[in-house]
Structure 1
Amino acid sequence: MGAPQAAFASERDDARIADLQRQVDELRAIVRTLQAERAPAGMAAATPAATPLAPAASSAAAAPVQLAAAPATVPAPVAASAKPAAPKKAWYEKLQLRGYTQLRLNEIVSGPKNAASGLARIRSVQDSGINDTGNFSIRRARLVVQGDLSDRVSLYLQGDFAGAVNNQSANEPRQNFFQLRDAYADLYLDKHKTLKVRLGQSKVPFGWENLQSSSNRLPLDRTDAINAPVPGERDLGVVAYYTPPSIQKIWDELSHDGQKLFGNYGAFGVGVFNGQGTNRVEKTEGLMTVAMATMPFRLDGLGDAFKGQVAEIGVYGLKNKFRPEIRAGGVSTESYQDDHIGFHAMLYPRPIGFQAEWTWGKGPQWDSATSTIRSSRSTGGYVMALGRIKESPIGQIMPFARWQHYRGGWKVSVNAPRLETDEYELGVEWLPLKELEFTFSWANVNRAEADERRTGRAKGDILRTQVQWNY
């Protein structure tokens, strides 16, 4: 090849190399842009510097044109991005649904199931299923909706599908209607939730066993004496609860151990309510005032025999005016003094425990001597021994023995009849599964019937069985 031809070939190779170098530079610029977009903020994408192509040979005799091998461009590792924060749940996503149902079988095995007009029969104000024809009954079928609306506000809504409606055709009641039990909101006044105000229909803080849920109580029913000042346990009003962290810690430990506590209530409570009772229209201008204080404490300091044991004592009182329903129809036009005080004391079973409550006061009750309603003295309470076999081959077993006594009115029945109750009860609760509980009990009763038209007291024995499923 002549000199002119060699010079032309060299210029052509230089132009080709320059064009290739330009394309490589453009590709590297694109890679750097993509890496910068993928890298976290504040981190530069590392891209190797451009490597120039090797110079071409200047003579015709030179070897064929070679491009210098450019190092492979490996994208710089992208740092793991911080895990995005979970989206905040809406209030309705924080609600929970739970409840329980109780199926009972009551049988009067001795004593007057029926009696002549004017004489008392074996009956109980705590369970209408104790009667001459009663077999199976649904005592409670509760459904609860609860949850936090925010860090400072929570709601609680409970209904019962086993309510009864009276005064139907031929005065025959209808069973298993849905009835409101609780409808309240808790407003927490501090971030640690030690102080809260409860607004709406809720339990009145009077009586330890009144506050304890029926799903958690060992005996099938509450006692007449403790329940008489607040039958139904609830009213409409406002109540404040305060629980010091040291007390809450003890209750949390007892709850974790599976002990039967009294529920979501404070160590100190004070409130005002309508005073007419659960789901009843208010009839007086005044408000019922109530206060309660309870204090759990450890007994470890008393020696090894009491290691792990917890005792609890408390007091409570209420002041109220009440108008009972009357036989002539409607509600009394007179308001009756309805004031009570009481105390409770208990030793949580580990494995043996004790529980007792007693009340004193005055409330509306029928006076047979004058055939009128008067505000008269009432008193009574109970003492109970209980045990706990936490683990056995067949599940948890809790036996109990209880004696109760009461003399006083039952203000939510027509004409506020006077009750006279003495009862001994033996029973056992068996939990083969946490979702399933069985209770078996025998009671020897000596009771006046809650009807001022029937006199005397009925004596006899009752066998009772209950199965409860929790959901």
Structure 2
Amino acid sequence: MKRCLLATKLGLGALMLPFSPAEAQTVAELQRQIDELKAMIRAQAAERDLRRTGGVGPRPKPARLAGRSDAGTLPAAGRPVESALDPKPGARAERQVILADEPDTWWRALLPPPPELLQDDPDKPKRPKTWFERLSLRGYTQLRVNEFLSGDDTAPSGVSRLRSVHDSGITQANNFTFRRVRLVIQGDIHERVFLYIQPDFAVSVNNQAGPEPRQHFAQLRDAFADVFLDEDRRSKLRLGQQKVPYGWENLQSSQNRLTLDRSDAINSAIPGERDIGITYYYTPWHVQRIWDRLAKGGQKLFGNYGAFGLGVYNGQTINRVERNNGVMVAGMVTWPFMLDGLGAAFKDQVVEVGGSAYHNQFQPETRAGGVTATSFDDSRVGIHAILYPQPFGLQAEWNWGRGPEFDPVAQAITTKPLEGGYVQAMVRVDRSWIGPFMPYARWQTYRGGWKVATNAPRLETDEVEIGIEFQPIKPIEITLAYARMNRREADERRLGQAEGDLFRAQLQVNY
């Protein structure tokens, strides 16, 4: 109460000063008033201390509970525990500072004291992070639009329409679609264990009560743990749902890939790119050094899936129930070479070559009351080569093999040969008024079955795509593309080829 009266007196005094007589405004008179106020504050402070201690002097500080900080949680390192029962001999009571002694800051005496901050001893080791504090969250979203410029956007029953197995947004009545909405949870939960979980929230679900599919369901894409077998993390075991090491483009993340979709020929081997199993990866230190340099330079890598990879999997591809007692065995070798030794024209150039193969027994899904199916031989071998764009680059893959395919004459699924691949050229420009950009052109072809569709229909694909990707700001990537397509629809009930010209655009947001 007296503090309030004092504040009121000070305020009134300040207001009355301009209206007081001139003789009251002398320096001596002002100094006398300030001294009186200081004396009043000291007297109030002394009276308050006596009232708190019952007239027996300053009250000692209460003892703190051992092992607890001021916040009542973890110990505050470097803060001694004070005892009221056994004070240090010869210790003098700390003088209470009266803020009114400081003429320029006397107003602070009217405010409550600031809270005391807890500071740990810098020499004491920090508390180790728990496993959930080691995890990080990132992701990306892809928004697309596909527009027919000309072609077979519709067709009578039994005739192929222009459709793509990679993008359900290519229809006669579609505009904007989400191609991917991904979140990645990852981190080292142990010095030798790395955790990776990735769901996708842009998945369509068919076979509902009505004929129309429903969109934007969540689906698990990746859920695996890497167990490192050495301290340098050169070799590891990957356990869980993961990408199968077959095809360079299949392993490359959609977040990094230049073209809008993967090629039919390579992706038809492992549609969805993933399966449940165990993989062993090994990366020599000099190979990792080259990849690190390329990544630092902004190149679109395929990810660290090892220079050598070998694994076993269910064999039914992503999020499908295992339907036989066999396993798929897949492996891949890829190796980057520095071309500096070929002369000044090849300075900092890197070419990467490799191959992959797998053997599997696959059982396709069939229509009710129609074709019956058992497990079919499903085996392939492929090669790849990449000249990283610095600034000009080339990328190519090709594969051959056998797999399940619907035979329209026999009206049955049989094992048939398959073949196909792609060739891609690109140019990388790091600086421009629209930011970094990369124009590209790709030709692809494929003849073979699409085993994950009902009854494993045959695909016959010839396509040319020309586009450009640019990045006006770091989180935003925009891709504009023109595609000339000649495709057979992935439906064994529709025959013939469909052709058309499409304009395609994609906005990718990285976060």
TM bracket (short chain) = 0.7 to 0.9
Which of 334, 341, 352 in structure 2 is aligned with 1:294? 334
Alignment coverage as a number of residue pairs: 393
Give, in whole Å, the separation in 2 of the partners of 1:178 and 1:466. Answer: 21
Task: State whether residues 419 and 446 of structure 2, in contact with CA within 8 Å, keep that contact through their aligned partners in structure 1.
Answer: yes
Deviation at 1:83, TM superposition (A): 2.0
Verify: 1:260 aligned to 2:300, yes or no.
yes
Task: State whether residues 401 and 425 of structure 1, in contact with CA within 8 Å, keep that contact through their aligned partners in structure 2.
Answer: yes
Task: State whether residues 365 and 408 of structure 1, in contact with CA within 8 Å, keep that contact through their aligned partners in structure 2.
Answer: yes
Deviation at 1:198, TM superposition (A): 0.3
Verify: 1:349 aligned to 2:389, yes or no.
yes
For the residue of structure 1 that corresponds to 2:125, the secondary structure is: coil
Alignment of 1:202-351 (within 5 A): 202-328=242-368, 332-351=372-391
For the residue of structure 2 that corresponds to 1:93, the secondary structure is: helix
Verify: 1:431 aligned to 2:471, yes or no.
yes
Alignment of 1:111-260 (within 5 A): 111-260=151-300
Deviation at 1:434, TM superposition (A): 1.4
Q: Cα deviation per residue 1:328-382 (whole Å; 9 max; x = unaligned)?
A: 2699541000000001001000000000000000000111121111110010000
Q: Cα deviation per residue 1:266-320 (whole Å; 9 max; x = unaligned)?
A: 0100000000010000001010000100000100011111101010001000000
Aligned to 2:75: none
Deviation at 1:87, TM superposition (A): 1.9
Q: TM-score of the superposition, structure 1-length normalised?
A: 0.82
Give, in whole Å, the separation in 1 of the partners of 2:376 and 2:209. Answer: 33
Give, in whole Å, the separation in 2 of the partners of 1:142 and 1:394. Answer: 26
Which of 135, 140, 150 in structure 2 is aligned with 1:100? 140
Give, in whole Å, the separation in 1 of the partners of 2:166 and 2:329. Answer: 25
Q: Cα deviation per residue 1:245-266 (whole Å; 9 max; x = unaligned)?
A: 0000000000011100001310
Verify: 1:446 aligned to 2:446, yes or no.
no
Distance 1:271 1:330, change over 3 A: farther
Q: Cα deviation per residue 1:3-45 (whole Å; 9 max; x = unaligned)?
A: xxxxxxxxxxxxxxxxxxxxxxxxxxxxxxxxxx99xxxxxxx
Deviation at 1:393, TM superposition (A): 2.1
For the residue of structure 2 that corresponds to 1:249, the secondary structure is: helix
Give, as a single letter, the amino acid of the residue that structure 1 aligns with 2:368: A
Aligned to 1:397: 437
For the residue of structure 1 that corresponds to 2:190, the secondary structure is: coil
Verify: 1:358 aligned to 2:407, yes or no.
no
Between 325-334 and 380-389, the greater mean CA deviation after superposition: 325-334
Unmatched 5+ stretches in structure 1: 1-36, 39-80
Q: TM-score of the superposition, structure 2-length normalised?
A: 0.76
Deviation at 1:163, TM superposition (A): 0.8
For the residue of structure 1 that corresponds to 2:345, the secondary structure is: helix
Verify: 1:375 aligned to 2:407, yes or no.
no
Give, in whole Å, the separation in 2 of the partners of 1:215 and 1:137. Answer: 17
Give, in whole Å, the separation in 1 of the partners of 2:370 and 2:321. Answer: 12
Task: State whether residues 111 and 460 of structure 1, in contact with CA within 8 Å, keep that contact through their aligned partners in structure 2.
Answer: yes
Distance 1:469 1:313, change over 3 A: same
For the residue of structure 1 that corresponds to 2:168, the secondary structure is: coil
Task: State whether residues 371 and 412 of structure 2, in contact with CA within 8 Å, keep that contact through their aligned partners in structure 1.
Answer: no
Give, as a single letter, the amino acid of the residue that structure 2 aligns with 1:141: V
Give, as a single letter, the amino acid of the residue that structure 1 aligns with 2:144: R
Give, as a single letter, the amino acid of the residue that structure 2 aligns with 1:434: K
Give, in whole Å, the separation in 1 of the partners of 2:236 and 2:134. Answer: 20
Aligned to 1:89: 129
Task: State whether residues 417 and 450 of structure 1, in contact with CA within 8 Å, keep that contact through their aligned partners in structure 2.
Answer: yes
For the residue of structure 1 that corresponds to 2:250, the secondary structure is: helix
Give, as a single letter, the amino acid of the residue that structure 1 aligns with 2:296: H
Identity of paired residues, percent? 58
Distance 1:279 1:359, change over 3 A: same
Give, as a single letter, the amino acid of the residue that structure 2 aligns with 1:255: A
Deviation at 1:169, TM superposition (A): 2.5
Unmatched 5+ stretches in structure 2: 1-78, 81-120
Give, in whole Å, the separation in 2 of the partners of 1:331 and 1:388. Answer: 49
Task: State whether residues 365 and 373 of structure 2, in contact with CA within 8 Å, keep that contact through their aligned partners in structure 1.
Answer: no
Give, as a single letter, the amino acid of the residue that structure 1 aligns with 2:223: A
Task: State whether residues 323 and 331 of structure 1, in contact with CA within 8 Å, keep that contact through their aligned partners in structure 2.
Answer: no
Give, in whole Å, the separation in 2 of the partners of 1:278 and 1:185. Answer: 17
CA RMSD of aligned residues (A): 1.4
Give, in whole Å, the separation in 1 of the partners of 2:344 and 2:229. Answer: 40
Alignment of 1:29-48 (within 5 A): none
For the residue of structure 2 that corresponds to 1:145, the secondary structure is: strand
For the residue of structure 2 that corresponds to 1:169, the secondary structure is: coil
Give, in whole Å, the separation in 2 of the partners of 1:87 and 1:250. Answer: 36
Deviation at 1:167, TM superposition (A): 1.1
Give, in whole Å, the separation in 2 of the partners of 1:206 and 1:321. Answer: 16
Runs of 4 or more, structure 1, over 4 Å off, are 329-333
For the residue of structure 1 that corresponds to 2:471, the secondary structure is: strand
